[in-house]
Structure 1
C-alpha cells in the first residue's frame, strides 16, 4: 500500500497521478499546524531552559584557552553561561559561521551552543579538520535528528506516526536512520514521496535553525513525552544510565532524545536524499515499524552525479544497525 494523501502531507510539485493516487495535498512546512502535545513539549522545554539559566546565580569567571587559527588566545568567560559559540564571537565572524562542533580539553566533543562549566582548552571544529571522525559522527547524528523532524512534519494525524528512535551513527553503514511506527503495514513510498521528504530536510537546512541542547530530569522528560508511547518506554532506562538525567535536543519545534553532541545548526546540512523506507516489524494488528534511511553531504561539499548516485544506491540497502525492537538494555544505540 502506498501512503495515501490523507496520510502524507508534504508538497509534491506534480499534477500526475502517483501509483494510481492523485497528487498529495499541499502542506506548508513553513507554518505547520502544531499539535497541543507538541506545543506543550516546547513550552516545557523553554520553561526549563529559562529556569536553568536563572538558577546559575552568581556568575563565576573561567579561563578558556582557545587553540587554533589565527592564534592561540585565552578568553575570560562565564561559567555555565558562556558557550563555545560565544568564544567564537570573540574571534571572528568566520569562526562563528564555520564552527560546527567544539572539542574540550583535547578529547571531549561538545555542542557549540552548550554552556561551558569550567576552565578548559577549546578547539572549534569544522568539516575541513585533519581528523574528521568526531565531526562526521556528529553530522550523521544530526541528520537522523533532522530526519525525525521531517517525518514529524510530513504526515497527517490519520497516519498516526510515532517516532521511535535512531541508532548510533555509523558512517560505514552508508546511511543515517530514523525508525518510526505507522498505521500502515505495507507502506512502500514512491520516488515522489521520498523526494518530498528529502525536500523537507533541505527546507530545514535553509532556515538555519539553531540546534539546542537541554539536560532534564526523568520526571520532566516523561511529562514532555506524555503523548509518545515509545519515548516513554525508553526514558527510565536512559535516565538510569545517566544519573537520572535525560538529554534533549530541539530544532525549530521538534524535540527529541539523544546523547549528542550535534552540529550547531541545520545550515550545515547540504545535499540530502531520503533514499528508502524498509518495513522491519509489525506492531500489533494495524501498525508497523519502518526504518527510514538517507544520505547527505555537509554544506559546501560537492560530488559529481555518478559518485553521489553511488552513495544513494548504497543508502537504499537496509541499514544493519541493531533494531529498536531488540532489548533496549543490550543496546545503547537507541538514543544516539
Structure 2
C-alpha cells in the first residue's frame, strides 16, 4: 500500500471513529469528562492501529556508556529505553533528544531508528530542557487555574505563549466574567499550592496527536480553543497536538517534561489585566516562576526572581494571531 493510500485510509478511519466518539461521549456529564473520554478512545485506537510489531535500533549516547537497544517501532518510548539502563536514568531524565537535534517527550513512542540522548536538568547545555520545563509550567498553571476558580467566575483558558526564559516568568492567559478582578496574595498562593500539589502526586504528562476534526469535537465548548484550531491545523497538516495531566487537556506543540514531579519550588505572583472582552469580561495574564525539583535557592535570591516575574511578560497577546514558528513543529 502506498504512503498516500495509508494516509487516506487513516483519515477515513478517523472520520468514521469520530461519529462513534460522539455517540459514546454523550454519556459524559461534563465537558471535561467528555474531553477525557474522547482522549482515551483516540489513545486506544492509535495503540490498536500499530498492527504488526517492527523492531528499530536505538543508539543511546551517554553515561555509563553508549549502547544500542532493540526496541519496538511506534510502541517503545525514551522512558522504556531508560528502563533498560538504570532506575537513575528513569528518575532523572526529564526530556529526550533524538538524532542530536529533535526534542522528544519521554513517553512519546519512537517512530524510527535513531540516536537517543536522555536530558536531566544538569546537562551541560540545558537550553532545550529548560524550555520544555517552562512550557510545562504554563501547562500546569492552566490545570491549577481550572481547579482554583469556582464555576461562577466563568473561567475560560485562552492559551500560553511559547516559553522565553529571558522574560523571567511563565504565563497563561485567561478570560473571566469580571473586568475588575484583582487577586489577593492568598488567592495567588492558593493557585501556587495547586501546582505544588500536582508536583507531589507525580502525575504522568501524556501527549496525543489527533486529527483537527476530533480536536474540534473535544473543544467545542471552548470558544477560544475553537478559534485557534484552524491556524494550528494548517501549520501541522491537519493535526493537533494535545497534552493531558490528570483530567486537564490543552493544546500545545510541546515537548514537555515527563511528569509533574520535575516541578520544584513554585510561586504564582501576579495577574495583569490585558484588555476588556465583551461587555462584562476581560483578558488576564497570570504569571509565575518555578525551579526544577532538586534545585535550591536561598530566600533572598528566589525573592529577586519573584519580583522580576511580576513585570508584565511581553509575549504574544491573546488578540494577536495564534501562530507558531513552522520550524518548531518537529517537536
Q: Do the two structures share a fold, i.e. TM-score over 0.5?
A: yes
- Deviations along 1:131-160, one digit per CA (max 9) or x if unpaired, are 000000000000000000000111111100
- The 5 Å alignment of 1:163-182 reads 163-182=157-176
Which of 87, 96, 101 is equivalent to 1:93?
A: 87
* Inter-partner Cα distance in structure 1 for 2:246 and 2:306: 27
In structure 2, the gaps of 5 or more residues are 1-27
* Inter-partner Cα distance in structure 1 for 2:182 and 2:149: 15
* Inter-partner Cα distance in structure 2 for 1:97 and 1:124: 11
Say whether 1:192 aligns with 2:209: no
- Deviations along 1:239-277, one digit per CA (max 9) or x if unpaired, are 010000000000000000000000000000000000100
Cα pair 2:170 2:288 within 8 Å, conserved: yes
Say whether 1:122 aligns with 2:101: no
Q: Corresponding residue for 1:282?
A: 276
Q: Corresponding residue for 1:315?
A: 309
Q: Corresponding residue for 1:102?
A: 96
Cα pair 2:97 2:117 within 8 Å, conserved: yes
Say whether 1:298 aligns with 2:319: no
- Deviations along 1:275-304, one digit per CA (max 9) or x if unpaired, are 100000100011100000000000000001
Offset of residue 329 of structure 1: 5.0
Structure 1 range deviating more: 322-331 or 248-257: 322-331
Secondary structure at the aligned position of 1:248 is classed as strand
- Deviations along 1:14-44, one digit per CA (max 9) or x if unpaired, are xxxxxxxxxxxxxxxxxxxx96100000000
Superposed structure 1 runs of 4+ greater than 2 Å apart:
327-332
Say whether 1:238 aligns with 2:232: yes
Instruction: Compute the RMSD of aligned alpha carbons.
Output: 1.5
- The 5 Å alignment of 1:47-62 reads 47-62=41-56
Q: Corresponding residue for 1:15?
A: none
Which of 25, 34, 41 is equivalent to 1:40?
A: 34
Q: Corresponding residue for 1:65?
A: 59
* Inter-partner Cα distance in structure 2 for 1:75 and 1:263: 23
In structure 1, the gaps of 5 or more residues are 1-33
Offset of residue 104 of structure 1: 0.3
Cα pair 2:232 2:323 within 8 Å, conserved: no
Offset of residue 163 of structure 1: 0.2
TM-score by length of 2: 0.89
Cα pair 1:225 1:231 within 8 Å, conserved: yes
Count of residue correspondences: 301
